C-alpha cells in the first residue's frame, strides 16, 4: 500500500479497498509485446564514410547544376538603379531635398536624366528603393489597425490603440491610422523616353497589379461595403497628419482608391530590412513593340515629396526585369555552386577515408 508502482502516486499510500473480486488470479507479469519490451523493429542507420558517400556525391551533383542555373538566370536579369535623393550639390534634386515639409502645398519637382545601355525586352518592373528606412521598427510595425484596413466600420471610427499617437487628430479618427500609413511614400515618379529624334515620350506606367491579389481583394477593404461613394464612407474621419489628401482621393479610379489603393497596400506591407525596394509601377510590354524599353536616354521626373534626410536615407528608382526567381541576386547561385563543390570535395575525402578505415570497422574491437 505504501509501496507502490510508479503511478500509485494517486493512491498516496491509501488503504485501498477493492471490490469483492479483490484477490483475483491476475498475474502481474508484464505483457510481452514488442512495444512494452522496447523491441519495436527499427531502422538503425550508422553514419560512416561508406554509407554516406553517395549522399555527398548526390548533393554535389545536384547542387552544382542548380547553382549554375541560378547564377545564369540571375545574370540574365537586367537591372538599372538610380539614386535621386539629391545629397550632392550637383544632383538635380538637391534643391528639393533641402527644403522640406510634409505638408508643403507647393510640389517640388526635379528631373533626372539617365541612359539605359541595354534594352529591356519583357515586362519591366519599376521600384522605388529606400535605404536606412527601418520599416521593421517594432513599434512602427505594430502601428496599424488591420481591422480598419479590412473595412471594419467600428474600427474606422475607433482605431485600435496600437495606432497611437496616429489614431486621432483633432478628435477625429484618422483613416488609415498608424505610423505606417502616416509615413507613406508619396513621391511621384514618371518616366520619359528621350527619343533620339528629340521628342520626349512618356512611358505608360501601370498602377495596378503591383500588390498581392489577396491583399487587394481580401485583406484590404474599403469601409461601407460596396458603397461607391468613398467620401461618404470615410465621413467623420480625417486624413493622416502627413498626408496631403485624404485616403479616398488617392486615385481617381474607383477600384484603386481608398484602402485598396495599391500604392498604399504595397507600402503597408512593411519591408523586412532597412534597405528595401517596393514595387511602384509596371511597364508592360506592348504587343507591337519588341522592346519594352529600348536602349537610349531617359528622364525620370520626380515630384519630390518624401523626406529622407532626417534619417540619412536614400531614395532610388529601380528598373528591373524579373525571372522565375525574382529579382537580380547572384548570391543563391554562388551559394549552390559553393556548397555543391564542398560536398563533392567532402565526398572525395570520405572516399579516401573509407578506403583507409572502412575495413577496420568490421573487425573493430571495443576499446575502453
Partner 1 sequence: MMWRSPLARVRDALRGQKVREKDLRNLVSNLPYEGLDKWKQPNRYFPGNSIKTSKYTLLLFIPMNLFEQFHRLANLYFVGLAILNFVPVVNAFQPEVALIPICVILCLTAMKDAWEDFRRYQSDKRLNSMPCLIYSRKVKQFVERYWKDVRVGDFVKVVCNEIVPADLLLLHTSDPNGVCHIETANLDGETNLKQRRVVPGVCITDPEFEAESFNSIVVCEKPNINLNHFKCYVEKPDKDKVGAGIENLLLRGCTVRNTDHAVGFVVYAGHETKAMLNNNGPRYKRSKQERRLNIDVMFCVILLLTMCLVGALGHYLWLQTLPGLPPYLVPHSNGHLDSPSLSSFYMFFTMIILLQVLIPISLYVSIELVKIAQIFFITNDIDLYDEETDSQIQCRALNITEDLGQIEYIFTDKTGTLTENKMVFRRCSIMGTEYPHKENAIRQAVLTEPDSDEEVIFTQAPQALQTQWSLDSDDVNRKDTMHHHGSRRKVPGTAHSDVAFSSPLETEVTPDKKLLQQISGAESTSVSRKIDAYLDFFLALAICNTVVVSMATAQRQRAAGHLHSFQTNNPLNPLSSFVRTVSSLRRSLTSYQRKSKRNRTISVDSSIEEDHFNPPVKLEGSGGNTGAQTCSLHVPRSSSEPAVTPDMVCYEAESPDEAALVYAAKAYGFILLGRTPDSVTVRLPSGEDLRFEVLDTLTFDSNRKRMSVLVRHPISKEYVLYTKGADYAIMELLGTPYAERLKGNQKNIAADTQQHLDYYAKEGLRTLCIAKKVLSGREYESWSADRHRALAAIENREQLIMDTAVQIETNLTLLGATGIEDRLQENVPDTITALREAGIQVWVLTGDKPETAVNIGYACRLLEEEDLVINMSCKNKLTCTSILDCTLEEVRRYVADPRNVDTTPDISLVIDGRTLAMTLSSDLQERFVELAKHCRSVLCCRVTPLQKSAVVKIIREKLKVMTLAVGDGANDVNMIQAADVGIGISGQEGMQAVMMSDFAISRFKHLKKLLLVHGHWCNSRLANMIIYFFYKNTANVNLLFWYQFFCGFTATAMIDYWLMIFFNLFFTSAPPIMFGILDKDISAEMLLGVPELYRTGQGSGEYRFSTFWVSMLDAFYQSLVCFFIPYLAYRGSDMDIFSFGTPVNTISLFTILLHLSIEIKAWTVVHWVIMLGSVALYFIVTLAYSAICVTCNAYWTLQSQMVDPMFYLVCIITTVVALLPRYTFHVLKNSIAPSPLEQARHLDRMDPITRDQWIKEWRSFRGGGQVKRSGLSVPPSPTLGTSVEAYPPSPTASEITGDEFTLNVISENYNRPVHT
- Please give the residues from 96 up to 135 whose contact with partner 1 meets the rule CB under 8 A: 127, 129, 133-135
Residue span 149-168 as binding mask against partner 1, x where in contact by CB under 8 A, dash where not: -x-------------xxx--
Q: Between 58 and 201, whose beta carbon lies closer to partner 1? A: 58
- The position carrying cell 513593340 is 289
Does 239 bind partner 1 (CB under 8 A)? Our answer is: no
**Residue ranges in 82-133 assigned as alpha helix (H):** 94-98
Q: Between 93 and 350, whose beta carbon lies closer to partner 1? A: 350
Does 72 bind partner 1 (CB under 8 A)? Our answer is: no
Q: Between 137 and 299, whose beta carbon lies closer to partner 1? A: 137
Does 4 bind partner 1 (CB under 8 A)? Our answer is: yes
Nearest to 275 by CA among 81, 144, 116: 81
Which listed range, 59-67, 110-118, 196-204, 257-265, lies at the site for partner 1 (CB under 8 A)? 59-67
Does 171 bind partner 1 (CB under 8 A)? Our answer is: no
Helices 49-76 and 331-357: angle between axes, nearest 10 degrees: 160
Quickly count: other Cβ atoms within 10 Å of residue 255's Cβ. 11
Greatest CA separation for the chain: 110
Which listed range, 176-184, 226-234, 282-290, 292-300, lies at the site for partner 1 (CB under 8 A)? 176-184
Q: Is 41 left (phi over 0), alpha (psi -120 to 50) or beta?
A: beta
CB of 11 to partner 1, least distance (A): 7
CB of 48 to partner 1, least distance (A): 5
Does 245 bind partner 1 (CB under 8 A)? Our answer is: no
| Count of residues touching partner 1 (by CB under 8 A) | 116
Does 32 bind partner 1 (CB under 8 A)? Our answer is: yes
Nearest to 304 by CA among 320, 289, 318, 315: 315
Q: Between 166 and 248, whose beta carbon lies closer to partner 1? A: 166
Coil, strand, or helix at residue 200? strand
CB-based contact 124:320 (threshold 8 Å): yes
Nearest to 289 by CA among 208, 197, 203, 189: 203
Strands 188-194, 200-202: pairing is: antiparallel
What part of residues 291-320 is at the interface with partner 1 (CB under 8 A)?
307, 309-313
Q: How far is CA 70 from CA 6, 197, 334, in A?
A: 59, 39, 8
CB of 231 to partner 1, least distance (A): 25
**Residue ranges in 77-145 assigned as alpha helix (H):** 94-98, 138-142
Does 11 bind partner 1 (CB under 8 A)? Our answer is: yes
Q: Between 47 and 290, whose beta carbon lies closer to partner 1? A: 47
Q: Between 115 and 311, whose beta carbon lies closer to partner 1? A: 311
Which listed range, 83-91, 108-116, 179-187, 224-232, lies at the site for partner 1 (CB under 8 A)? 179-187
Among positions 83, 121, 146, 187, the unique one binding partner 1 when judged by CB under 8 A: 146
Among positions 77, 116, 249, 274, the unique one binding partner 1 when judged by CB under 8 A: 274
Residues 6+ apart with CB under 8 A from 289: none
Does 77 bind partner 1 (CB under 8 A)? Our answer is: no
Distance separating alpha carbons of residues 316 and 105, to the nearest angstrom:
23
Residues 6+ apart with CB under 8 A from 308: 85, 97, 130, 132, 133, 314, 315
Phi and psi (nearest 5°) for 113?
-85, 145
CB of 10 to partner 1, least distance (A): 4
Among positions 273, 289, 295, 359, the unique one binding partner 1 when judged by CB under 8 A: 273
Among positions 50, 224, 246, 296, the unique one binding partner 1 when judged by CB under 8 A: 50
Cell numbers that stand for 309 in this block: 534626410
Q: Between 205 and 332, whose beta carbon lies closer to partner 1? A: 332
Cell numbers that stand for 287 in this block: 504587343
Amino acid at each position: 500500500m505504501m509501496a507502490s508502482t510508479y503511478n500509485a502516486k494517486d493512491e498516496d499510500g491509501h488503504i485501498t479497498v477493492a471490490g469483492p473480486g479483490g484477490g483475483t488470479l491476475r498475474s502481474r507479469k508484464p505483457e510481452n509485446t514488442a512495444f512494452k519490451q522496447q523491441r519495436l523493429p527499427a531502422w538503425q542507420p550508422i553514419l560512416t564514410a561508406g554509407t554516406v558517400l553517395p549522399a555527398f556525391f548526390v548533393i554535389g551533383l545536384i547542387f552544382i547544376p542548380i547553382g549554375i542555373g541560378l547564377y545564369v538566370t540571375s545574370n540574365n536579369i537586367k537591372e538599372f538603379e538610380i539614386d535621386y535623393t539629391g545629397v550632392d550639390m550637383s544632383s538635380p534634386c538637391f534643391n528639393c531635398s533641402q527644403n522640406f515639409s510634409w505638408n508643403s502645398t507647393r510640389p517640388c519637382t526635379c528631373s533626372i536624366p539617365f541612359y539605359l545601355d541595354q534594352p529591356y525586352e519583357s515586362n519591366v518592373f519599376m521600384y522605388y528603393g529606400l535605404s536606412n528606412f527601418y520599416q521593421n521598427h517594432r513599434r512602427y510595425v505594430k502601428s496599424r489597425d488591420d481591422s480598419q484596413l479590412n473595412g471594419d466600420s467600428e474600427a474606422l471610427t475607433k482605431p485600435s490603440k496600437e495606432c497611437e499617437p496616429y489614431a486621432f487628430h483633432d478628435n477625429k479618427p484618422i483613416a488609415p491610422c498608424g505610423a505606417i500609413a502616416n509615413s507613406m511614400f508619396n513621391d511621384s515618379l514618371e518616366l520619359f523616353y528621350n527619343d533620339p529624334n528629340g521628342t520626349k515620350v512618356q512611358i505608360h506606367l501601370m498602377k495596378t497589379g503591383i500588390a498581392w491579389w489577396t491583399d487587394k481583394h481580401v485583406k484590404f477593404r474599403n469601409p461601407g461595403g460596396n458603397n461607391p461613394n468613398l467620401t461618404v464612407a470615410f465621413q467623420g474621419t480625417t486624413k493622416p497628419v502627413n498626408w496631403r489628401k485624404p485616403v479616398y482621393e488617392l486615385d481617381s479610379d474607383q477600384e484603386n482608391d481608398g484602402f485598396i489603393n495599391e500604392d498604399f497596400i504595397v507600402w503597408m506591407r512593411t519591408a523586412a530590412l532597412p534597405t528595401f525596394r517596393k514595387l511602384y509601377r509596371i511597364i508592360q510590354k506592348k504587343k507591337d513593340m519588341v522592346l519594352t524599353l529600348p536602349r537610349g536616354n531617359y528622364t525620370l521626373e520626380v515630384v519630390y515629396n518624401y523626406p529622407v534626410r532626417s534619417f540619412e536615407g536614400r531614395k532610388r528608382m529601380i528598373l528591373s526585369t524579373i525571372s522565375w526567381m525574382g529579382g537580380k541576386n547572384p548570391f543563391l547561385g554562388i551559394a549552390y555552386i559553393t556548397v555543391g563543390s564542398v560536398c563533392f570535395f567532402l565526398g572525395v575525402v570520405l572516399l579516401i577515408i573509407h578506403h583507409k578505415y572502412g575495413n577496420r570497422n568490421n573487425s573493430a574491437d571495443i576499446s575502453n
